[in-house]
Each structure stands twice: as C-alpha cells, then as structure tokens.
A and B are shown apart, each in its own frame.
Chain A
Amino acid sequence: MCLGIPGQIVEITDPARMAAMAEVSGVRREVNVACVAEGPLEGLIGQWALIHVGFAMSLIDEEEAAKTLDALRDLGEAQEALEQMAAGDAALEGRA
C-alpha cells in the first residue's frame, strides 16, 4: 500500500496553494507541502520529503537515516570480522 518515494523540494511555486516543486532523480512534479510546512515555506527548499499522490507527507530526517545505515554497517563489519575469524580457524585446522 502507499507508494511513497523520497523527493527533494527545489522551489516554492505558489505559496497561497502551498505548492512546491519536488524533484526525484531529475523528474519534477508539483506537490502540496501543507503537511510539512511548519515555518516559512522557503525553509523547505533543499529538504527531502516523502512524496505520495502529489503531497509531501513527511520530511525525511537525515540524522535518523544515517543512524539506521550506521547500525547496518556495524552489523556488516561484525559479520565480516566473524567470517574472517572463521576463515582463519579453517586455515589453521587445515594446517594441523
């Protein structure tokens, strides 16, 4: 349900209608920013938002995104270390 994709707000097109231009990989579409407008609309320019059916529904929290990725990378590194240890053990056993 609910196809949503990250897009970057690049321009405010009509403040009265809460309309802004969002860009996804070079493709532009006007979106409504009523749900994410807390301060002045200009503040949204450059921000990333989750776009769904022509509305910016939620601002993307870059810090949270980085945290999620860091946790995944830590897991990846731990896994790699384990694999290397296992490979080392196997090599030792092979020699013995």
Chain B
Amino acid sequence: MALRDTRVTLAHGGGGKAMRDLIEEVFTAVFAPPGMEDQARLTAEALAEPGARLAFTTDSYVVTPVEFPGGDIGKIAVCGTVNDLAVGGAKPLWLSAAFIIEEGTEIALLHRIAATMAREAEAAGVRIVTGDTKVVGRGACDGVFVTTAGVGVIAAGREMAAGLVRPGDVAIVNGVLGDHGATILAARGDLALSSTIESDCAALGHLMADAMQAAPDMRAARDLTRGGLASALNEIAQAAGCGIVIDETALPLRAEVVGMCEILGLDPLYLANEGRVVTFVPEAQAEATLAAMRARPEGAGACIVGRAVAEHTGQVRMRTAFGGSRIVDMLVGEQLPRIC
C-alpha cells in the first residue's frame, strides 16, 4: 500500500507519484482496464457484422448525498450510462469513468465507489476501459462528481426511436415509480423524513435485451431519470406526433412513495428513477414483453401503464382514478416541496 493518506489532498491531483498511487490503488486495481495506455484499444467483433452501428453516449453524475440507501454515485454512473445505451437498442460494451474529486474526500469513500462500479459493470456485462481523475480545492465541487461515457453496438435491423411510436402501441414500465427520487429526498436529511424506501438504481441492459427479443418491433424506450415518467412520455408524444393516455389506477407506486408525496405536496409522476424504463411496443407483443421483463428481478414489477392514441397530438393525458381526465404536462423547473 503506497497510499498512506486517509483523505484526498491536492497532491493527489498533482501529476506525480501521489496521483499515480491514487489511480492505481483505488481505480485500476478494481477496474482492471486492458492496458495502461492513455486510450483504450478495443476490438469489436460485433461491429464487423454488416449493418451494425456504434452507439456512443456520455453523462455526468452529481448526487447529494453521494451514498444513499440502495446505491451510491458509482452505481448511478455505471447504470445510468448503461441504460442510456440500452434504451436506444444497443448492447452496452465499454465505459469510461472520469472523477472530479473535492480535496478532503475520504479515500475509503473512493474505494467504496470504485468497488460498486466494478461490481455493477461486471453484472451489466460491460468493462470500464479508460478513465481520469482530477482533484479540485475544497468547495470547488461537492465530494465527488463522476462522468461516464459508454460505447455499445446496435444490431443490424434494430431501429428504435421515439418518433416511431404509433397510435395503439402499448406503454410498459418495468416496476414501481419514484423510489429513487423519494430515497434522495429522505436521504438529504433537510426535510427530516425517514422511510425504508431504497433507490431503484439498476442496470437495464439485460432486461432490455430480453424485452427486445420478446418484442421484435419495439418502437422506443426511455429511461425514466430526472422528470420521471411524465417527462419521458411528453417527449415521446411530441416526437411521435401522437397522444398518450395513461391510467392513474394502473400506475405502480409504493405506498411510502405516495405518502412522501402527500407530505411534501409532490407528484410521483415527476419523481426521478434510476432503474426504470418505459417502452412502447405493438399491442400484439405486449404480453410477451411483460413476461420477458417479469422474468428478471429488475422487471418483476413490469406492467402496462397506458397507450399511444391518435387524439390530442403531442399531449399526455391521465384518466384519473376518479373518472376524470387531466393533462400531464412537462415539469417546469424543479418540483419544490410545498405547504400550500
């Protein structure tokens, strides 16, 4: 063990031995990238297939607190980028990981984050092949920020896009909504709420692969991150030029999440998720999709929540449990807890 400090100092970002020790002991020891050059060199047999396409995506991750029930920033950073690839119909293959670390961060925390990332990557069938670290002064960032980029391959003939959704298509989600958003609200502590809810954070590459096999004509999928189901559906309705109707009684919601929303005056349709996806499939392939999803733990709660319709183009409407109907609009800004 060359790394003797318990906390990150500016020396760990200085380009010298301290930095090399940090990178080797904390990150490359668990990520085991192929080679130590400044770039990853990869052979992609899958790409050689005629008609196959490369999918490439990137995302930055910031979350307070960095560790929360059901996961940490590392898990989100791996799962989030894997999911961005998966919902486009790609098989996720490789990730990069870059860390911006605040001076004073505990090295033990970095070890835990790196371990989570290695574990999640392995489970998701992807490799973390390249990366970077930077250390910034106290206050210049909040603990740790992580950026991952991901590369995957889309098989020949697979075409998925929000614009392909057609009236009559069925909307399926893979489980209860809003657990991640509710977990983070409680974990921040400033609202002094406690619950047993855990983040839904999960990599959905395998789930999507199984679902796509069950639904060869799957039109589109979106991971439900910030803005929740409501925002994803609005995007799809607008891109597809059709309307979407969801059924309030069909929405899968945990009692605790509903309770938290009632306390804070929030709408669970807008709460963030990190392991949830909505897919649109032709009605004839809906049952097979549901069965394929339910066969996996991350899809055990899969259900139909609504469908695309020819009416009210570009708009999402909800049939309320009450027999009424209301528009489910895009979120403006951030949902704020309210008393009124």
The chain B residues found within 8 Å of chain A, CB to CB, are: 186, 191-196, 255-256, 258-260, 262-263, 265, 338-340
Stretch at the interface among A23-31, A40-48, A71-79: A23-31
A48 → chain B closest CB, angstroms:
14
Q: Is the CB–CB distance between B194 and A27 below 8 Å?
A: yes
Interface of A is mostly: strand
Q: Let me know if A27 and B260 touch, CB within 8 A.
A: yes
Q: Considering residues B192, B258, B260, B263, which has the most beta carbons from chain A within 10 angstroms of its beta carbon?
A: B263
Query: Interface readout for A50-78 with B: 1 if CB under 8 Å, 0 if not?
Result: 01110000000000000000000000000
Q: List chain A residues, Cβ under 8 A from B191.
A: 29
Contacts of A53 in B (CB 8 A): 339
A28 cross-chain contacts in B, Cβ below 8 A: 193-195
User: A27-B260, A53-B339 provided; 20 other pairs, C-beta below 8 A?
Assistant: A2-B339, A2-B340, A3-B265, A3-B338, A24-B259, A25-B256, A25-B258, A25-B259, A25-B262, A26-B196, A26-B255, A27-B186, A27-B194, A27-B263, A28-B193, A28-B195, A29-B192, A30-B192, A51-B263, A52-B339
Q: What separation, in Å, do the CA atoms of A30 and B340 have in the docked complex?
A: 20
Q: Give the total of A residues in contact with B, Cβ under 8 Å.
A: 14
Residues of B near A27 (CB, < 8 A) are: 186, 193-195, 256, 259-260, 263
- Judged by a CB distance under 8 angstroms, whether A85 is at the interface is no
Chain A contacts to B: CB under 8 angstroms: 1-3, 5, 24-30, 51-53
Which residue of the partner chain A has the closest CB to B255? Answer: A25
A-side contacts of B186, CB under 8 Å: 27
What is the CB-to-nearest-CB distance from B188 to chain A, in angstroms, rounded to a whole number?
A: 14
**Residues of chain A lying within 8 A (CB to CB) of residue B258:** 25
Q: Please, which residues of chain B bring their CB within 8 A of the CB of A2?
A: 339-340
Which residues does chain A contribute within 8 Å of B338, judged by CB atoms? 3
Chain B residues within an 8 Å CB radius of A1 = 340
Q: With A3-B265, A3-B338, A5-B263 as known contacts, state yes or no: A26 contacts B192, CB within 8 Å.
A: no
B178 to chain A, nearest CB (A): 12
